Amino acid sequence: MHDNRRNYMNELEREKKKGLSFPYLIKVLFARLKNRRRYQTPGFGLAAQLFATTAKHVIAKLGPVEGEALLKAAIEEFGKERGRRIAETVKKKGKPLSLRNWIIHTDIAPENFEAKPSFPAGDLEARVGACTFIRAADAWGLRDYAKLYCNYADYAILDGYNPDVKLILDDRHATGKDHCVFRYVMKEENK
């Protein structure tokens, strides 16, 4: 431990005296390869931490009722804009605003969620256990603030994309389970 501390201090002293250079920083590449993604938060996770921190301050300043109302309006505006942009992408490709095309052209990487699909009665049901958004908010002790995003975002995204897509969401916050279930209803007789 003592040697590590001395190396740490030597690195700091070296940087302060000599500055930075490519040969000095080349070790970063190898260290990052060795560490892989151990110290990194996925992009959606960083967004969760930013949102939840912001929500914490908004609610502290405005109170729970007014604060949540303001956050809801912002989340819905953000979600609808995301949905509209996905719809624009789909339309530019000459495709219909189907759920299938929404999944193909969505703006979020699939590695943010581990979804297990099923197809009850012709609907798509996605059971999401691991979620980078909630995991990252939990890491900072901000789950209660992050769940505000979950309450409104997905409905708004689909409304911006195609209001004809019906979403039934059983989220982990309301059910107390370790997963969320997103049920996407397109079949008319199921609506």
pLDDT (tens digit per residue) in 2-35:
555 555 558 778 888 888 888 888 888 787 777 7
Contact yes or no for 184/167 (Cβ under 8 A) = yes
In the prediction, which pLDDT does 114 show? Answer: 86
CB atoms within 10 A of CB 50: 11
Percent of the chain residues past pLDDT 90, beyond the cut: 66
Give the domains, in start order, of the chain with CATH numbers: 2-35 (no CATH), 43-190 (3.30.1380)
Q: 87 burial class (0-12, 13-18, 19+ CB within 10 angstroms)? A: middle
In the prediction, which pLDDT does 38 show? Answer: 64
Question: Which tens digits make up the pLDDT trace of 56-102?
Answer: 999 999 999 999 999 999 999 999 999 999 999 999 999 999 999 99
Q: Could you tell me the pTM of the whole model? A: 0.81
In the prediction, which pLDDT does 35 show? Answer: 72
More confident residue, 30 or 55: 55
How far is Cα 9 from Cα 11, in angstroms, rounded to an integer? Answer: 5
